Structures are given as structure tokens and as C-alpha cells.
Structure 1
């Protein structure tokens, strides 16, 4: 779950991280009231869950009241990468002389959180990591012990942060790690941390993403979720109580068990396809659950074919086959070609039940995946 900048900054400020004075506004008049209180220069910043707001025209610096009104009219209501801007953060301008990056995320390769500091602030950290990885100082943290003070100092010194600002920057890094740990964050960063002309260190931006599986432990953060940014398909998956993650490809994937689904995703990629989703119907899936899974995958306009991979343990092959038949027979024409691979408990019974006028059946997972990919290519040619 992503927090808006103004929400993350309030959390940062409560934890002791210096942030510029700001006001949230949802109308031009509120923007003008805010700049009257804050003064000039003032930044007017669109509050939407997208990156690159500045390049897209979602952040403007107003030097006077007339500019503030003009920028407020331009930004409020604008379409910013597919989202309508309904609120802006009006923030005191910062006279800065340098920009830094400070953040904490999970390094899944190492299986531990990693704290990062870079003097390349103000630039996408992904771009820095790709083009000049040596510009990012990294310090892995053992979650059993948390970030030690010497680790924060080491990351700051390794990044060549000027010595006179090292204490303040390491303090921000330590606080970010504490918030990362205490608030079940998956990512937390400030880009940029600005060093002002008065030699102050200020968090000029704020990113904080929360692990959705941990929201039951963070009820006050769960209340901050902006439902306007929730994916419609993932909302529908929640209603069906299905484990679903939407991806960017065109091959829909359904399986019973997370490992089986991940294997299917890997094979789709291996054979040159692009997975459209992760969808685990779980063990012991009944016909209704199978129908819901197909309805969900068919609802994704990017999906051009579906591979259904079932290995029966608790899940019975005949129940799955019955669910597939019931789901597909409801259509005059099956909306997307479906390939089924059944193995395990009652697989033979399931194969006898399956209506092969509605689905393609393959004996192995590899053949099923390759058939599904071929189906997407046929759809593309058409």
C-alpha cells in the first residue's frame, strides 16, 4: 500500500525528521490560503501515486500569489499519468545547495533489509543503480538486531556525504530504518534530502510503501489507503478471496498452490511468453472458486490466453474440471482460449469430464504453457 507524500511526511515529522512547512489543499482558494500562511517561494505538488511528477507538470514553484493561483488551476484536476489530481501539497520552498538520497528497502537476494545513501539525490535511484551503481553506498541490516549506529555512519561516510552533515544524514537514515521496521514498510525513502543554504538538512520528499499483508498490525495506516488507486481486478480478487497479483503480460495463469503458480510463471517466461498475473486458487478448490478464478482472469483486457495448471492433492481434478465446464458454458463464445493441464488426485476423472470443445488439454505443464503462448500469438496475428 502506497502512502501519499503528505501522509508519509507527517509520519516522518512525528518521528523527528525535519520536513518543510506545508498544507494540504483541494481547491484553488485553499492553495491561496496556504501560500498566504507559508509565504514564497512555495512548491505546489500533485498528490498522486506516480513517479516523475515534476517532469509531467505536477510540481510547480510559485514565486508570488498570482503564480500560485495559476499553478493551482493547472494542477488541480489535471490528468497525471492516468490519475486525476484532486489534492496538492503546498510546501515552503527550500533554498538548497546539495541533494542526497537516503532510503531503506528489502534486498530479496540477500534476504535482509538494505540501507542506502547516495550523493546523487534528485535522480531516480533506479537510474543511478543502473548507470553508476558505485554512487550508492549500501549497508545490509540484520533484522534481529536492527540498524546499529555504526552502520548508519558507515553508509553515510561510504557515500562521501560532507563530514559536517554526516551526523544529521545518519540520523535520518536510522530513523527511516526504525520506521521501516516498526511500520512494516516494504520501501521507505527520501529523494531528495536537501542541504540548505543555512546548512540545514531537510526531507524534501517522502516515499513510504507498506506491506499489505501486515496492515492488520497497522490499523492507523490502513485507514490512510486511497481506494481510488486500488486496481479494480485486485479489488475483485479480494471479493472472491483469491490470491491474485496483476502483472503486465498477456498469458493468464491459474494454479493451485503458490509454488505451482510460480513454476508456471517461470515456464511462461522461459518459453518466451509474458505472464499476465499470479492467481492461486488454493488447495481443495471447489467448482465455484474455479469459476470465480476464470471470471477474474477473463476480466483483464490484456489477457489473450489462459493456462490452467492443476496438480491434485487436496484439490480434486473432477471438481476443477466441473468448475471449468460450468464457467465456460455460461459464454456463447469462450472469451479467451484456455489450456488445461490436470494431474494428481482424480485427474483421470477430471479429464473425462472436461469439455474439450471449450478448452485445449495438454498432458504436461511444458506443453500446456507452449500451447497457451502459441494461442496468444494467434490472437495477435488476428
Structure 2
């Protein structure tokens, strides 16, 4: 789960990380008022979306007057910002963060990520901040500093000092840097975060280390331990297809293809996506219906798949161990009838009660194509999709 910049900064502040003063605004009038509360002669208006590269899309503006703040807020609010991270759909701006301007002397990149190979938290830092870590790695690979944290003892002060010295910080700033680095690690550890990123962490001309931007991402499986973090979730920033499925206990990831997939088991689901591509099609989603799928759960899976308006054919691929093929068949029939499905549907069943499941499908009288193997199912659904697409094009 991702959160907004202002929420991340509020959390990091609790762990001793220094951040600029700021306030949230939902209208141009509020934005102007927030700036007056902060005083000063320059402010930064930041669109709050779950994406980086906001500045390149016009989502970060430095303003020197109330008029400029109002104009910037008017332009951003209600607009969908499109960055290379959001994709063409973009992200809707519904709130702004008004922040005091910072006099920057130096920009630094600081990130904490889970290295699944090492099974450790890894600190990645660079004296070349202000750009994405991929760009830094490509342009200044020698500037990258890496440090692995031993989970038995956590981030130690000496380790943080080593990172600070490798970043070339002035000796007078080392104590502040240590406080920032250890604070970020504590936030990641205590809040069950997957990632903490400060980009840029800046040194001001007055000699302070400040987190100018912040991004935190959390482990969904640990949110039950942190209800205060769960409350920070902004569903308007998430893929509506994925949100619908997640709220109903389904594992779903939206893709860009035209063939919807309903499968049980992550491994089988991945294999199904591969077979569809091998057959010449493009999958529209990854969906794991899970074990013990009832007819109601199958129906809900169909609804999740059909929330994507690009879907033009559906493949159901079930290997029943915990599941039962007759339950799946009943769910498929119910979905076709209740949702008035009018697109190609291919069903491949294998495992427990497969004979009964196939009998139920055969006797339903519905336009359902069955398949014996995964390869057969993938070829049939791609062929049916192409035929329907061609027929629709000719009709137009």
C-alpha cells in the first residue's frame, strides 16, 4: 500500500526526520490560506498523487504570490497527471500539499528497500539526488552507496556514519545525517514498510538536513498490525479493478490485454498468461480465485474481470485440489446467466470432480467452450477472441 507525500512526511517526522513545514489543501482558497499560515515569500504547491516524476508533469510549482498559488491550485485540482509511472491513465489530483520553500545547497538520494535475495534491508544512497535511482545508476554509477543492515541488530550509528561520510557530507552535518538515516530505518522496521525513499534529501544553505520529498510503501499483509496506517489508504489513487478485487479477497493485477483470466493458484495463473501470449493473445489480468472457491466466489471473479471494459474474451482455468470442479462449473453457469455474458468463454477443468463439472457445463445449454489441456484452452480462447474481433470489425 502506498501513501501520499504529506502522510509519509508526517510519519517520518515522528521518527526524528526533519521535514519542511506544510499543510494540505483541497481548494485554491485553502491553498492560499495554508501559504499565509506558513508565512514567508515563496511556497511550493505539490499535487498529491501516488507517483514520482510529478514535477515533469506540472505537479510541482514554486510560487511567489497568492495569485500564483491560486492559479497553480486551480490548474492541478481535478486534473489527471500523467507520468511515466502512472501510465496513460494518469492519476487524479484531489488534494495539494502547500509547503514552505527550501533554500537548497545540495541534493542527496536516500532509499531503504527490501533485498529479497539477501533477506535484508538495504540502504541505497547517492550524492546525486533529485532524480530517480535508475537514472542515477545509469548516469553516475560510481555515486551509488550500498549498505546491508543486519536484522539482528538493526541500523547502528556507526553504519549510518559510514554512509554519511561516503556521501561526502561535511563533518558538521554527520550527526544530523545519522539521525535521519537511523530514523528512516526505524520507521521502515516499526511500521512494516517495504520501502522508504527520500528523494531528494537536501542540505540547506543554513546547514540543515531536510527530507524534501518522501515516499513510503507498506506490506499489505502486515496492515492488520497498523490500523493507523490502513486509514491513510487513498483508493482513488489505485487501479479501480484491483481495488474491487482486493476488497472481495481476490488476488488481481490488471494488465493491458483483451483476454480475461480466472485461475486458481499463482503458479498456474502465471503459466496461463504465458500460454495465452504463446498462442498469440494478450492477457487482460492476473486473477487467482484461491482455494475452496464457491460458486459465489467464481461469480465475483467474473465481475472483477468484467470491470475491465477492454476484456473481449474470458478463459477459466482450474486445477481442482482444494477446489471442486462441480462448484466451479456451477459458478461459471451462474455468472454467464446473471451477467448476461455475450463474449467468448473457454473453460478448462481438471482434478476433483472433473467429470461432474464437465457434465454440468455440457448440459447447461450455454455457449461455453471446453478444453482438455491448458495449451488447448489458450489456443481456443485466442482463436475465439480473434474471430469475434474480426466479426465486430466487419460489422462496423
Same fold flag (TM > 0.5): yes
Distance 2:152 2:256 in 1: 35
Distance 2:291 2:79 in 1: 46
1:86 equivalent in structure 2: 94
| Aligned counterparts, 1:239-254, within 5 A | 239-254=247-262
Q: Match of 1:55, SS? A: helix
Q: Match of 1:101, SS? A: strand
Partner of residue 350 from structure 2, selected from 308, 326, 343: 343
Distance 1:360 1:162 in 2: 70
Q: TM-score, normalised by structure 2?
A: 0.85
Distance 2:294 2:34 in 1: 56
Shift, 1:74, TM fit: 2.9
| Aligned counterparts, 1:272-283, within 5 A | 273-283=281-291
Contact 1:276/1:303 (<8 A) preserved: yes
Q: Match of 2:151, SS? A: coil
1:360 aligns with 2:361: no
Distance 1:91 1:182 in 2: 27
Distance 2:54 2:315 in 1: 38
Larger deviation: 132-141 or 96-105? 132-141
Contact 1:117/1:156 (<8 A) preserved: no
Partner of residue 112 from structure 1, selected from 113, 116, 120: 120
- Shift in CA distance, 370/51, structure 1 to aligned 2, threshold 3 Å: farther
Q: TM-score, normalised by structure 1?
A: 0.88
Where in structure 2 are there 5+ consecutive unaligned residues? 83-89
Q: Match of 2:57, SS? A: coil
Per-residue CA deviations over 1:212-247 (Å, capped at 9, x if unaligned) read 222111111112222323433233324533232333
1:50 equivalent in structure 2: 51
Per-residue CA deviations over 1:138-191 (Å, capped at 9, x if unaligned) read 223343432333443444444555555444334322221211111111221111
Larger deviation: 60-69 or 182-191? 60-69
Distance 2:275 2:46 in 1: 43
Contact 1:298/1:336 (<8 A) preserved: no
- Shift in CA distance, 53/371, structure 1 to aligned 2, threshold 3 Å: same
Distance 1:66 1:243 in 2: 47
- Shift in CA distance, 266/76, structure 1 to aligned 2, threshold 3 Å: same
Distance 2:70 2:388 in 1: 50
2:29 equivalent in structure 1: 29
Where in structure 1 are there 5+ consecutive unaligned residues? none
1:96 equivalent in structure 2: 104
- Shift in CA distance, 292/85, structure 1 to aligned 2, threshold 3 Å: closer
- Shift in CA distance, 342/187, structure 1 to aligned 2, threshold 3 Å: same
2:66 equivalent in structure 1: 65
Larger deviation: 68-77 or 189-198? 68-77
Q: Match of 2:75, SS? A: helix
Distance 2:215 2:129 in 1: 14
Contact 2:196/2:215 (<8 A) preserved: yes
Contact 2:128/2:140 (<8 A) preserved: no
| Aligned counterparts, 1:118-267, within 5 A | 118-129=126-137, 132-161=140-169, 164-267=172-275
Partner of residue 307 from structure 1, selected from 315, 327, 346: 315
Distance 1:163 1:376 in 2: 65
Distance 2:277 2:361 in 1: 27
Aligned-residue RMSD, C-alpha? 2.7
Distance 1:271 1:157 in 2: 54
Distance 2:248 2:29 in 1: 43
Contact 2:258/2:284 (<8 A) preserved: yes
Distance 1:196 1:77 in 2: 33
Larger deviation: 320-329 or 166-175? 166-175
Distance 2:103 2:246 in 1: 46
Distance 1:243 1:23 in 2: 36
Distance 1:380 1:187 in 2: 43
Count of residues in Structure 1 that have an aligned counterpart in Structure 2: 381
Shift, 1:376, TM fit: 4.7
